[in-house]
Structure 1
């Protein structure tokens, strides 16, 4: 996959970055943790402008969030869960993933869109409950954009600083993202248990 990403970015430049980040939102197995550090490394070589690379990544990500948002808005939770359980293995999404993201959105509301844009493994899925919950598209785009700028900027800067060791970013973020995701799930379970105890 790394070679494929490198080829697209090398041949298409900023358009390639935007396209890859768009696809990363549609198909979560494509890792932003590899795309944007590579863009930062390419900028460090003088082949791209770092601000342009970040802008391309942000635009691609935000546009890529819209199909999932509208899928949630028009298809609804039940149909999406059934579809995910049946076909989601091809893009590593299950009905449980949708439930998890919806619980997060129900608890944190619009803040979840901002926060989850910076959490690997949840970034893509948070668009679904935003659509299911009928969140207006303007605040959805605003919160998505702010969260995406922070995430994409961090990854790109890391690649710029690390140079040809940019792949270290993905290696370190992979276990960290699992820990963050586990902590979020545990936190959500604790909140649910406390609410039930209060009732």
Structure 2
């Protein structure tokens, strides 16, 4: 972190948006700790990591916009167990709650990256997308950078708590996927019996 500086921390966060396995929960507190040692300012750490978050999110938004609704529907129609009716439900939900999803999604592991794609597919106004992304990312980044700044040498403690939160989110996603798959298989079997 001392070598790459605050702009490098921003680049790492931009890449974290594109490749979620890179953990922002490690990068952000480390940036805060490095700022506490005077290598760059706390303001620079928060500014650059937030810029990185917005750049990474916008790249995924652009991917969603390029993909577009029709192409996405064609791709999804080839995926087993997913009906276009499921896509319609997700689209309806996103049209009702898209702004909240983009803002709060910035503070939830996994969703932080993924929420930008449906925003692009649904052509959420770019200005609103960037504003919500900036606000949500600023809150998330500030919490972790400040924690690293004030914890100093103990900045790694943040990772333990963040890791627990991330595991809860992953378990919830896995349980939802299992429920989804089981319900789809049951529906498919019931339809076969009727035929």
> TM-score, with normalisation over the residues of structure 2?
0.75
Are positions 1:33 and 2:22 aligned together? Answer: no
Which digits, 9 at most, give the CA deviation of each residue in 1:64-101, with x for residues without a partner?
A: 11111011111135756959x99xxxxxxxx9xxx798
Alignment correspondent of 1:24: 16
SS for the counterpart of 2:112 is coil
Structure 1, unmatched stretches of 5+, are 1-8, 87-94, 190-199
Q: Give the distance between the partners of 1:52 and 1:63, measured in 2 at CA.
A: 16
Shift of 1:102: 6.2
Alignment of 1:1-199 (within 5 A): 9-76=1-68, 82=75, 105-180=94-169, 182=172
Q: Give the distance between the partners of 1:147 and 1:176, measured in 2 at CA.
A: 17
Which digits, 9 at most, give the CA deviation of each residue in 1:30-66, with x for residues without a partner?
A: 1110011001111111222001100000001101111
Alignment correspondent of 2:188: none
Q: Give the distance between the partners of 2:109 and 2:137, measured in 1 at CA.
A: 12
Q: Which is further off, 146-155 or 62-71?
A: 62-71
- C-alpha RMSD of matched pairs (Å): 2.9
Structure 2, unmatched stretches of 5+, are 180-195
Q: Give the distance between the partners of 1:101 and 1:161, measured in 2 at CA.
A: 41
Counting matched residue pairs gives 166
Q: Give the distance between the partners of 1:41 and 1:105, measured in 2 at CA.
A: 37
> TM-score, with normalisation over the residues of structure 1?
0.73
Find the structure with the greater CA-based Rg.
2
User: Is residue 73–residue 134 contact of structure 1 (8 Å, CA) maintained in 2?
Assistant: yes
Q: Which is further off, 149-158 or 168-177?
A: 168-177
Shift of 1:179: 2.2
Alignment correspondent of 2:190: none
Shift of 1:16: 0.7
